[in-house]
Structure 1
Amino acid sequence: MSDIDPLAPTAVAPDGTPPLLAQTFDADRVTEIRHTVTACAEAAGLDGTRLDDFVLAINELITNAVRHGGGRGWLRLWRTGQTLYCLVSDTGGGIGTARLDERRRPAPEIAGGWGLWLARQLSDEMLVESGPEGTTVRISAGLGGGPEPTPPSG
């Protein structure tokens, strides 16, 4: 884990960018945080299915933090260029290496184990740092914004 306390209220995004959102959460705030993330991500330029997918991925991460990561966590959302990032940290006991290395879809009859898999599937990139003092997951979603397509000539 980094030297920055992931639950420190003054923490900024890892690249020093001022966050669009920096919030602590617990079980009572999951729904509120999800709605706030939706509004911030939409204002940052994410829309349609990409917005829905990114918010669902974040919801899975904050739910995991509450259920498995000590009951509370810290979320930071920021934009760098044409990418939207979300960092979710908790103070739980960490995630085992075997679980982190698992890339297969969970069996449909299994009630748990879907959170990390879904977050990985619904975001462009997912990085996880985990140890006995907690877990931090960073996901990203591209906003597009490339050059305008050239209209066909003719």
Structure 2
Amino acid sequence: MNNTTITSTPPAPTVVQGDSPAAIRRARQAAGAFAHRLTPALSPRAADALVLVVCELVTNAVRHGGGRYTLRLSAGPETVTAAVSDPNPDHPRERTPDLEGGSGGFGWHLVRRLADRLTVTPGPGSGKTICAELPL
């Protein structure tokens, strides 16, 4: 990541909702567009990290969190934040990645590695929100 700070007003927060595996692509596209609307724009590396974190969090929400998600993207002076809410109150579980069978297990490891700060909070409703802050 680089040491870029936002010197002008960041774009308004972006909200994307989805309820299917096909909606994961929409979240990924929204994250890329949000990164490019920042002034100055995120470095390609930081933008890729944001898109990867969003993709992993939204994929996990669809696969393990009840089948639907709400993604909120926002930016501050030194961080960009991706918050993903889903209806399942259970916290993510870290598991050993499946290197042979292709059943996953990499997502939570990647999110934890890329995010400077990661929180899991109750709500909305009976679900949870995972908030990942990444450096600009």
Compute the TM-score of the two structures, normalised by the length of structure 2.
0.76
Residue in structure 2 matched with residue 121 of structure 1 by the alignment: 113
Aligned to 1:78: 74
CA offsets per residue over residues 120-141 of structure 1, 9 Å max, x none? 1122221123589222111112
CA distance in 1, matches of 2:87, 2:32: 24
Alpha-carbon distance between aligned partners in 2 of 1:106 and 1:124, rounded to the nearest angstrom? 22
Q: 1:40 aligns with which of 27, 34, 41?
A: 34
Residue in structure 2 matching 1:136, options 115, 129, 134:
129
AA at the equivalent of 2:114: L
Give structure 1 stretches of 5+ with no counterpart: 1-16, 144-154
Q: Does the residue aligned with 2:45 lie in a helix, a strand or coil?
A: helix
2:58 aligned residue: 62
Task: List per-residue Cα deviations over 1:41-74 (Å, max 9, x = no partner).
Answer: 1222322111111211110000000011111011
Identity %: 37
The equivalent residue for 1:108 is 99
**Residues 64, 109 of structure 1: alpha-carbon distance in 2 compared, 3 angstrom cutoff:** same
SS at match of 2:66: coil
Partner Cα separation in structure 2 for residue 126 and residue 60 of structure 1: 13
In the TM superposition, residue 142 of structure 1 has moved relative to its aligned partner by 1.6
Partner SS for 1:55: helix
> AA paired with 2:129?
T
Pairs aligned (count): 122
TM-score by length of 1: 0.68
